[in-house]
Structure 1
Amino acid sequence: MIGILLTKFRLTARKPWSLIILTVLCIGFAFFMGGGEYTKVPVPVVSTLSKEETGEFLKELNRSDLFMFIETDEGTLRNDIKNGNNEAGLLLHETDFTVIASVKSSDVSLLQRFVVEHYNKRLQKDALLNSLPDEKKESAEMVWEKALTEPLFAVEKASFSSDKARVIDMHLQSLFGFSLFFVIYTVSFSIAAVLEEKRNLIWNRMVVSPVRKWEMYAGNLVYSFLIGYGQIVIIFLTFRYGAGVEFHGGFGRTLIVLIPYVLTIVALCMLLAGLTQSIRQYNAFIPILSVVMAMLGGAYWPIEIVTSDVMIFLSNFSPILYGMEALKGATLYGKSMQQLLEPLSILLLMAVLMMGLGINAMENRKR
């Protein structure tokens, strides 16, 4: 088995372009379909506060997940907004602020609400300190800072529909969807090599060698799994550390939940290879099957926005649905591995059933 595995990797190293092209295509689709930009919105800032106060205020503001505040001069700020380089700018004063914007948009409204919240906290703190004698101001400030970092009680926000609320992050939606979609082609190409070897009677010659048949299957299947899993890991690492995509603390869990999905795709390709009568037929079915599964499973668009009962029912037969559920659960919803057992168990069940049927069909297919 090890010899077969090493041979497969050597052949891939000699002709790696199909794998490279698929990986680049996946990265490109995920990047542009997810919005293209994964960086914060830059906001130029002009401050009339002291240098120390400005530094502290900007440090607080830059904790935002959406905006990045950059200090500049007023002339540069107004020119950038006039020329369309920035959507909005911020003028900081002692007790209030001014937002300078070229257009009225949702980002400008979010910026205004975000700064108002910080100004209210700042004014509350100043009002508290000014009401105390000088000898108590230092201790009061320490209590204030501690209350912000270690509150006595937590407030949980909820709505009437909170139990059914779904979070949609188009960056992660595109990344997960296209990664799960393109890996089907990567795995299918590696399984197609098994059909080619059978057609050229290579397996017949190997059967009379010391290599057992289960080792031949295991070597090819392990190679298909590793090449598919490795592709997705490379894509995720590229977006995590190259594009700065936020996985909401679940990056490690995503690498684990990918394992059952890739196993299921390997089993699916093996089943399809056993049911088809030729390589040409196999290559014709793969694009059709992959696109249908992607559409039903929520790879192209969030499954949460689908309202058709028929489409939702059919989606239960797509492995991509459970792969997306597991990936979103590990990131957007912060679920533990125990909470992700349901979609992972379904994927493993699919993998076992399809692998058994696929190998049996491969053994009985016409050569």
Structure 2
Amino acid sequence: MKRLACIAALGGLVLSADALAWGSDGHRAVGAIADQLIVGSRAQQQVAALLLPGESLEQVANWADCVKGSYCGPQTEEMQAYTAANPKHSEYHYTDVPFQETRYHDHAVGTAEDDIVQTLGQAIAVLRGKGDPQTNPHRFSPRQALLILTHLAGDIHQPLHVGAAYVGKDGGYALPLAAKQIDAVNMFDARGGNNLLLDDVKLGAASAQLIPPRPAADAAAATAAGAAGAKPRQLTRPFHSYWDSTVVDYAMRRVGARTPQQFAQIAIAAKPVVAANSGDPSGWPHQWADDALMVAKLAYADATPGKVAYQTSGKGEVYQVWALGVPDNYPVASSAIAKEQLIKGGYHLAALLQSIWP
């Protein structure tokens, strides 16, 4: 069972925007950075030709997540057509390479033909006018390719969307050398970090001492929205969820940004040094994945699996989870990483678009 399908089955959950990679604001920040970096270029003209009037990369950055449900609003005809033609579209957003590895290799443990690296490659081929049945098996249109590329350029820079954790029967991290070793007896798939649970109360208390608070108006709005949702507070938070959304909030608060556009403006004004990609653009997704593996090692370095527990899904299936311990200063270190990765995502997306349309 694939990761996203398994998560939904085990937890009986309805995914919200906060359960998606980088959250809504994170993806919009990546798109906003790219929007600003391609101003005045041929790439900007070509992007505008594929987008609808009034759309921007920031505004469409969450499209590939919005097609998964109704949390962005009713599904449009365009979304319905895409999901009907791409029944495995949820699997395009990640790969599950053991985080201990240093490189992404095609067909290696944790990879798949429909994973994020392969799907990005297909989108790039379409936008370069090289789409054929072999390079574009999903038959993406140029507009779909741009929407997917914009979103997945954010996803692939979220370290847990590339580097996955596997847990041995002794409770420590394990390195599978073959898929058959992940047998749920001697080695377990932690489902991209979703089965590793942080103490959300403790982590929240630590972050309150380390991360600047939201502006009063924003905090009040968030409280009101939470009250409207009226859900009991969870005592634990999946490690993957923490990296998807919590660190984005922390990163934005640390630089004083209230919106993704502000984050983009602050990031660009600081003139960050972002390593350029090399070689043909078709190979850039592999380079991004390799970089994400290095960052995933940092994400997992101080995160230690503890006592195993058992939970039961709504369907009566029993599965394992592990308490995950992190140091009290983890919010500072992780949000610094998130800031850097969001900036990389925006700069790499812009560079790719300008390479496709020089």
Q: Quick one: higher RCO (CA 8 Å, sep 6+), 1 or 2?
A: 2
TM-score of the two chains, using structure 2 as the length reference: 0.31
TM-score of the two chains, using structure 1 as the length reference: 0.30
Higher strand share: 2
